[in-house]
Structure 1
Amino acid sequence: MQHSSVYSLAGASVQSQVATQRQPRVVAGSRSLASMLPTILTTGLVSLVATAVLRLMWMGWGHDFVGAWMEAWLTVWPIAFPAAYISKPLINKLTRRLSKPVATEHALGATAIMQASEQATARSGLSRKPSMLPVHR
């Protein structure tokens, strides 16, 4: 006979309710905004720094530096964000391809070396002396 207490049943139902509740998102609104946020922030920061450096190189520090910099940044960022967001799947695919481990046909593990040595010894008609050390395979 199986015994179950009221407390264990109540605990199980509370756990199932907690498991089915959704965790609140940090970014309120649509899921697409949450997926875009890293790209928005990254392109915003990179374009902000890049336009500042280029404006300093081209114009130098002057009384209109900040205005020209903000104009350049507000021109570049709306171009940089969609380009980065649209190319993200392609970049991810390329990254996975480039970071895949290369499969080698001829592995150079200890077992492969021992087998190659035994095959070469047998082909040459030589015999191997028994080893004093045990060989683990």
Structure 2
Amino acid sequence: MQQSSVYTLASGPVSLPVAGQNLRQPRVVAGSKSLASMLPTILTTGLVSLVATAVLRLMWMGWGHDFVGAWMEAWLTVWPIAFPAAYISKPLINKLSRRLSKPVATDHALGASAIMQVSEQATARSGLRRKPSLLPVHR
């Protein structure tokens, strides 16, 4: 195992990594893992509720002297409700998303080659001949 070099500075010993050594990056969000897992939901619900309340307040009240105050009141009322609802439902939404995005079984797929094959079979059974195409057929 490679050792890193240690140098002493006025502030204390400093360890320099050796080339190729795997370095751990410090976490951007310090603290608990739960805060790091909540951060995307906090930011997303904050932004969505901010925009939604602005649009609805603008539609309901119009642009007046009290628009910003009423908007902030609505946003600060909606966001604390939206965040826990989104965070608690996140596992269910992820599971539903995975289930909905599963690939469909391709046993009965209607691809271009399958359609052309059936068309050729039907043409042959009916005793008709296929006209030569001016466009190249890609199979």
Count of matched residue positions in the alignment of Structure 1 and Structure 2 = 106
Q: Secondary structure at the match of 1:62?
A: coil
Identity in percent:
87
**In the alignment, which residue of structure 2 is the partner of 1:79?**
81
| Matches of 1:63 and 1:108, distance apart in 2 | 59
**In the alignment, which residue of structure 2 is the partner of 1:117?**
none
Q: Secondary structure at the match of 1:23?
A: coil
The list of structure 1 runs, each at least 4 consecutive aligned residues, that deviate by more than 6 angstroms after superposition, is 107-110
Structure holding more helix per residue:
1
Alignment of 1:1-137 (within 5 A): 12-14=2-4, 18-19=21-22, 22-106=24-108
| Matches of 1:89 and 1:100, distance apart in 2 | 17
Q: Secondary structure at the match of 1:26?
A: coil
Deviation for aligned residue 1:106: 4.5
Cα distance change, pair 66–101 in 1 and its aligned pair in 2 (3 A): same
Deviation for aligned residue 1:105: 2.9
Deviation for aligned residue 1:104: 3.0
By relative contact order (CA 8 Å, sep 6+), the higher-ranking structure is: 1
Deviation for aligned residue 1:41: 0.3
Structure holding more strand per residue:
2
Structure 1 runs not aligned, ≥5 long: 1-8, 115-137
Q: Deviations over 1:20-52 (max 9, x none)?
A: x64210011111111110000000000000000
| Matches of 2:96 and 2:86, distance apart in 1 | 14
Larger radius of gyration: 1
What letter is aligned with 1:39?
A: T
